[in-house]
Structure 1
Amino acid sequence: MITVLDLRGRTPSVRELRGTLPRAELDVEAALAAVRPVCDDVAVRGREAVLDASERFDGVRPASLRVPAEVLAGALVDLDPQVRAALEESIRRARVVHSEQRRTESTTTVTTGGTVTERWVPVDRVGLYVPGGRAVYPSSVVMNVVPALLAEVGSVAVASPPQKDFGGWPHPTILAACALLGVDEVWAMGGAQAVAAFAHGLDGAEPLEPVNLVTGPGNIYVAAAKRLLKGLIGIDSEAGPTEIAILADATADPEHVAADLMSQAEHDPLAAAVLVTDSADLADAVQVAVERRVAATKHSERVIESLTGRQSAVVLVDSVDVGLDVVNAYAAEHLEIHTAQAAAVAARVRNAGAVFVGTWSPVSLGDYCAGSNHVLPTGGCAAHSSGLSVQSFLRGIHVIEYSEAALREVGAHVVTLANAEDLPAHGEAVIARLPELA
């Protein structure tokens, strides 16, 4: 079912691997043409433009964009007790992990009387996007809200698409998750129009204050709107379809590998599932297991489309060492290690959004209850970017304080470097204080 890419007998370069390894086709640049008029319309017409876009794209025109407090409270009351217990445990574990991420202020004494302090200051206001479409993602509420709250962001708003099956409000499980976390500003809007509303704000009967930062996954149009509006707002990333890569050897359980590939394939027909292995026998066994399992899974059509797409493959290599080169070049959103001495192999991974070590650490654990964050870089961006964390909501600010003596000690060097760069006024700012340097 899954295409086989045989790299045995070769040691391809990173450049070759980037051109060879499978990727989902995702043209954010092309989507800009579709989202630009939507975003421009929201900037000009505000609330009515958002409602018009919701009617066009979501098939419903909400009576109100902001979800009333009683609707949030009612969603929590009606939440299935087992789902509530699972969400509460997910929240608890996320708080345990993310609470350790908060950086503390540090002051460095550069010289007597001269210090540089680095302060970590939260952004003033964030807009957190929670997708809605093929699936319901209360877990994404947890993954966005918990680090924002632990970063001590002053104002948090959540947006999720209106659902015609639920009276024009976002899915009630998403609303319940917001209520569990104490978020009372929730907006029934999705897609590019939601990102634009967060960026520009809305006037009128339902005022929405602009945000400084927008985070959270979404479809290609959400990604395109983020790209278009970046600069006016900060963004976490342009998230694309989900990815799983698995590095495995002959010790791996083919049933576990097959189940994990399928777990991410059910997200989206464009989801990528890549197995890298030095065992042809394992590769064959995984193909057999997938064939058997796919017939019984609920979203079999979606899974088949993902696994047979150009973005998915079984990659055969000569050794685990070569396999490491392959997965480091691929830089997957999620990387599982199913090998002998898995922890030692995982320690050699340089590029991945998150690494899941050993057979008892499937990606789905991280999706919900590991305590880690599941908002992660896709499309190879893990080679240079990190997943969502408390740090995503903080800014480092340097505070410089020098005494007269400390400036006098280094002032001549400042003047020299200013003149070397042909910026004499820079030096004159020091000479104004220390005339003897003229």
Structure 2
Amino acid sequence: MDGIRRVAGEVVRAPFTRRAWRELLYCAAGAIAGVAGFFLVLFTLAPALLISASVLGTVVGLLMIVFVLIMARRLGALHRILLRRVIGYRITAPAPFQRGEGVLGRLDRRLRDRDGWRAVGYAELKLPVAILQGWAVVSVGMGLVDMTYPLVWPLFRNHPAGTRLGPLIAVTPVPDVQVAIDTLPGTLLAVVIGVACVIGGVWLARAIVIADRRLARALLGPSRVSELERTRAIAVEDAAAALRRVERDLHDGAQVRLAAVAMNVGMAQDKTGDAAVRELLDAAQAGLSEALADLRRIARGIHPPVLDNGLADALESLAASSPIPATVRADAARRPSPAIETIGYFCAAELLANAIKHSSANRIEVDIDTRKPDVLRLRVGDDGRGGADPSGGTGLAGLAQRVSTVDGSMTVSSPPGGPTSVTVELPMQMTGRGT
């Protein structure tokens, strides 16, 4: 019994809460925006698809589709603003659209805009939601009108006896369901109908707002794929930054302290006359020298300092240390992100090491360029004996897997007898980080 009372009290109190009226306000605004957005998208997208299917109208049709995607993103932003400002529900916006290079690159990017197409889907699915939102608002409005009838009757129905007037009509949101009110006591029935309409409209608004929030979160927020790409990009960038910090700490901290210890040991060697002590100090000096060499090698393996000057300079440094003559050709007007630059450097280092170890080449060439929009292209070639096979356990398979973690690709051309050419393509920026 107490449970029934609590439920009944909650049902009756709902129209008097701030939440109810905020949800009704959202339903009113959402119904207008939803219906308008549905017809704007439908009556633009349908002709665009028909026109683009024809040979002569392909360009015009594609441009219209691009306009639809832009408009759908704007409508999605409007719905997110309404949710946030009216009912306080925040949906994270998807990543901003990033334009490609050139007209064709921009067109291709826009037509493959997942978030734009998801916004189109929301605009079309919003119509039944908008209808129910409008119905909830109309129901509450009609209920409030019906509840005024006990006041309307004495104010506007106070006519002399014998005057014949048409009955008042208690309106309801259900089509063809109306109740005629002929007497003052009959207005109490209108009040009952009005209360039912208000309570029903408020609870319908609450239910449809919950459904609309879920639909908006699914289609107007970041997609699962985009969210995974974003978290992956953050993880890769943060890992690269952490490695750079480790390298700086080793270079500026541990190496400096070990060098100071080595100097102190050297000074002790000069001051001691005991042969046994000198022998121990010599052994300590040799151990320190080896430790410093190992530490420098580890630091360079984590993040070579020369990479701070750019990938081209870092590859020049690699080529200079190669026992096989190596040349570097760089056509990189723009620098990739630090994480991509680091991956590119270690790809080149591993390919160069493979060529030195296995190719028996007389010459090695390293080319980098960024002429392809948003792509860093790295090629390492040699005039050796060829026969490199990614499936043969040469390390190329692991390199291809490492490249694929950032949506890169690797192609190998190495016929028996040579030459060998390995091309790695990496995105200039991690997908999901501001894309």
Higher relative contact order (CA 8 A, sep 6+): 1
Higher fraction of helix: 2
Q: Rg bigger for which structure?
A: 2
Q: Shared fold (TM-score greater than 0.5)?
A: no
Q: TM-score, normalised by structure 1?
A: 0.19
Higher fraction of strand: 1
Q: TM-score, normalised by structure 2?
A: 0.19
